[in-house]
Structure 1
């Protein structure tokens, strides 16, 4: 329709009475992209016009329009928005998209080289999100490469990605063998990013996009392609036969985590059944790898303080009685010594006679008679006949001040003992000492009972909130993790191991780490339990 050389004759023209073409902003395999303006609302747009050679082929035009309709169904922030498509009266077919200002990832890589692994991962996650939206609509890109990923600034994010050219010239046939949409080598896509099954002529599915994203991710991490031969055929052979070097080994200074290595290498698996089944599964694995790297840098949470030891019941009152009895004995002894030293014999006898009245005053009346019975023993032998008659009244008053300590019928025998009788004094001393002996009963040798299933489940429910808070980023919704827990006799968790499908996984290890902080009550011996957390 127009000469190959010379100025573009479409510049300045208005397509379909709506879009005035202002300048060329890019060339593709099937057409040219222009910056244009909607003549009514003055909105800048990008218009892709199918080349004249392709516009004359009915099959190419039909494919262009069909794929344009399919791509327009994708509604995602990381996918370029297709707003219009159609044809002109002179046979030109065009597609209208949002106008973007920025650069493609190929230009970024050429200028900056290898990117920090976290920045590269953030870019790849956006690309994966765009592909997931396309796959949900049954659209496979099949030509993922840096040139089709446009980097713009949105707000404070200078690396916001828009994926371009969804299915524009990449047609998915229903037959088992794929037919190319353009005459050329017979191979769809770009050689450096093409999946091995496409080279073998197999029917493509969404996993060809996963492979291409893996190649792009490797390039962003290392600064070079994993498969790049000196010729077209050597590059295809490398895709089929060569195993890529892990990114962390290809670029050791970048400190790329091993978990990120695993994600990249699995996406680049030669056998598509060995790759991630969906692009969403790829994204989840990459997020888990980033979270694992973050967890390795973060300090572990401080352990929870142990609960206070419960005080045995009945100890405090008996201790108070014992202390009160000791103070009373010391007070009586001091009083007797002072009376003996500073008063005459008649005054000492008077003091002894009045001592029980003082002893009867304390709140603890169980032990007032003991000092009176001991006092005559401390007096000289010669004075015993005179002291004994005087001491009778306080001895008779003693039963009124003390409570029975033995079974019914025995208190009367204790109170009728003669004041001068050593047997009576000894009996009272033994009876008085009984509360002190009972003040510290020994704990049962058997110890506390075993930990019940209900108590264990309650303890796990308490840490359940922390498990969801700290580990949900590693899991999908409603995912279950079963942990085998060994609880020691002191109530601390000695070990926690994930079992089943989560054994050894990042999610299982995260749940086990939180469970180890739980603290249960002390038991007779250690015990083993199982608990399943639902994320």
Structure 2
């Protein structure tokens, strides 16, 4: 593909927007109507089997079947003279939710995040009613599209691994025995086990995982590699939002808890309930200025699919300044610098690389790793162990001597470089596993988890747990929540 090339006799390619492991995305113009689109081309290496081609085209089928304003619209499908499959879709302008969460300074408010996820829940309600299960819901597949009046409309993307329930038999699904579909960090336990009969409740679990990450600052599951993560999800409980974010409204924490129930039969059954409950949460939070924490996620090595979150023409900017009932109002300014998922944004606090996207296993040498993971799952499925504590990444390196106990990790909310604002901020301190007796600046505050307000600036922390003591420092910023995690392995 090259700039200026005419596709299907009417689409002129303008600019390469992104290339991922499965596809390449270009901006294009219809030569007759002059309307701009995004065209997603399946890479030749991925089009060698009929199943891969069918999965690529499934995205168009899902979009047409659901037909919802919060789901990306696909207008056309086709094949080039060279045999490359392509999808023609609306050209989005904005950023993915993943980018918005890791880049905005200061972070968006909890209320803004609630409204965004409410629109996502409405989209998934429509999808499930149409018999479509997404199976790969994640922050990079939620896009904040800036419309003509500057409102950010959430759009759910990438139904390429979706499942269709045409007649209740599951015959519409593209599932191969021995494969796991979807990105591992947000998949449900039943999905991690490779269950062939996953339904809408797997999207409910992923939705809860996204909410957890946004509200806490790191993921509810973590592991050093893909196989370990699959085992962790399939055999253990997610981290507790009550322990890590006790300051949040109970109604919001309860919703996250109910989404993340590992037994699908006890999980929230559908997005209608999520829409109802999240609407009530939003009404409570509407005038609450509390913001999300800066992300401190640490995850497996990246193998990004740059086409999952459609690129747009944007530049780094501040958080959306206001909200309306239809979405988040995007910042104004000169949107002139092209952005692609591979571009370096250099934010103050960096979200860790995303895990492998899309079809995460099933081909080549990874099949052996999955077999090992499933063997471990079969042995450990009935155990009651909890996930190993994964210390979140920090904004500065932490050096630990090989023979010393694991050091505590500061989870700091950043301010603009050089800013020093007088006032009050919030601090939440937790310990994993268990609890510890916390002192701040020499004053005891009781057992963790502790949520308190402090003057802006640096503070000294000390936590004692069963004869073991750890210390650290944290910087509190005005009107933001700083977090500190003590680990006692």
TM-score by length of 1: 0.49
- Is there any run of 5+ residues in structure 1 with no aligned partner, and where? 1-8, 298-535
Q: Find the aligned partners of 1:177 and 1:78 in 2 and give their Cα distance.
A: 23
The aligned runs of 1:502-517 (5 Å cut-off) are: none
Q: Find the aligned partners of 2:161 and 2:6 in 1 and give their Cα distance.
A: 24
| Pick aligned residue for 2:47 from 46, 50, 55 | 55
Match of 2:30 in 1: 38
| Pick aligned residue for 2:82 from 69, 77, 90 | 90
Contact 2:144 2:152 (8 Å CA) reproduced: yes
Shift of 1:84: 0.7
Change (3 A) 1:27 1:134: farther
Residue-by-residue CA offset, 1:464-500 (whole Å, 9 max, x unaligned): xxxxxxxxxxxxxxxxxxxxxxxxxxxxxxxxxxxxx
Structure 2 SS opposite 1:59: helix
Contact 2:94 2:152 (8 Å CA) reproduced: no
Given the alignment of the two structures, is residue 211 of structure 1 paired with residue 208 of structure 2, yes or no? no
Q: Find the aligned partners of 1:147 and 1:207 in 2 and give their Cα distance.
A: 20
Shift of 1:234: 2.5
The aligned runs of 1:427-506 (5 Å cut-off) are: none
Contact 2:111 2:288 (8 Å CA) reproduced: no
Shift of 1:262: 0.5
Given the alignment of the two structures, is residue 189 of structure 1 paired with residue 216 of structure 2, yes or no? no
Given the alignment of the two structures, is residue 281 of structure 1 paired with residue 273 of structure 2, yes or no? yes
- Is there any run of 5+ residues in structure 2 with no aligned partner, and where? 290-489
Given the alignment of the two structures, is residue 164 of structure 1 paired with residue 152 of structure 2, yes or no? no
Q: Find the aligned partners of 1:66 and 1:239 in 2 and give their Cα distance.
A: 27
Change (3 A) 1:275 1:295: farther
Match of 1:372 in 2: none
Change (3 A) 1:223 1:55: same
Shift of 1:210: 0.8
Match of 1:427 in 2: none
Q: Find the aligned partners of 2:192 and 2:3 in 1 and give their Cα distance.
A: 39
Residue-by-residue CA offset, 1:177-229 (whole Å, 9 max, x unaligned): 98647x9x821111101111011222111111111111111111111111111
Structure 2 SS opposite 1:73: helix
| Pick aligned residue for 1:101 from 79, 93, 112 | 93
Match of 2:141 in 1: 148
Residue-by-residue CA offset, 1:375-433 (whole Å, 9 max, x unaligned): xxxxxxxxxxxxxxxxxxxxxxxxxxxxxxxxxxxxxxxxxxxxxxxxxxxxxxxxxxx
Shift of 1:233: 2.3
Change (3 A) 1:65 1:216: same
Given the alignment of the two structures, is residue 65 of structure 1 paired with residue 67 of structure 2, yes or no? no
Change (3 A) 1:108 1:160: same
Change (3 A) 1:90 1:210: same
Structure 2 SS opposite 1:35: strand
Shift of 1:171: 4.7
Given the alignment of the two structures, is residue 229 of structure 1 paired with residue 223 of structure 2, yes or no? yes
Given the alignment of the two structures, is residue 138 of structure 1 paired with residue 131 of structure 2, yes or no? yes
Contact 1:33 1:46 (8 Å CA) reproduced: yes
Match of 2:241 in 1: 247
User: Which structure has more RCO (C-alpha within 8 Å, separation ≥ 6)?
Assistant: 2
Contact 2:58 2:162 (8 Å CA) reproduced: no
Shift of 1:28: 4.0
Given the alignment of the two structures, is residue 118 of structure 1 paired with residue 111 of structure 2, yes or no? yes
Match of 1:25 in 2: 17
Contact 2:192 2:230 (8 Å CA) reproduced: yes
Larger Rg: 1
Shift of 1:97: 0.5
Q: Find the aligned partners of 2:37 and 2:172 in 1 and give their Cα distance.
A: 37
Contact 1:13 1:20 (8 Å CA) reproduced: yes
Contact 1:195 1:208 (8 Å CA) reproduced: yes
Match of 2:255 in 1: 263
Structure 2 SS opposite 1:150: strand
Q: Find the aligned partners of 1:177 and 1:92 in 2 and give their Cα distance.
A: 24
Q: Find the aligned partners of 1:81 and 1:131 in 2 and give their Cα distance.
A: 14
Higher strand share: 2
Shift of 1:29: 4.0
Change (3 A) 1:13 1:296: closer
Contact 1:85 1:96 (8 Å CA) reproduced: yes
Change (3 A) 1:11 1:262: same
Shift of 1:124: 0.8
Higher helix share: 1
The aligned runs of 1:339-350 (5 Å cut-off) are: none
Q: Find the aligned partners of 1:219 and 1:35 in 2 and give their Cα distance.
A: 32
Contact 2:71 2:123 (8 Å CA) reproduced: yes
Matched length: 284
Structure 2 SS opposite 1:160: strand
Residue-by-residue CA offset, 1:238-264 (whole Å, 9 max, x unaligned): 323333344353135xx3101110000
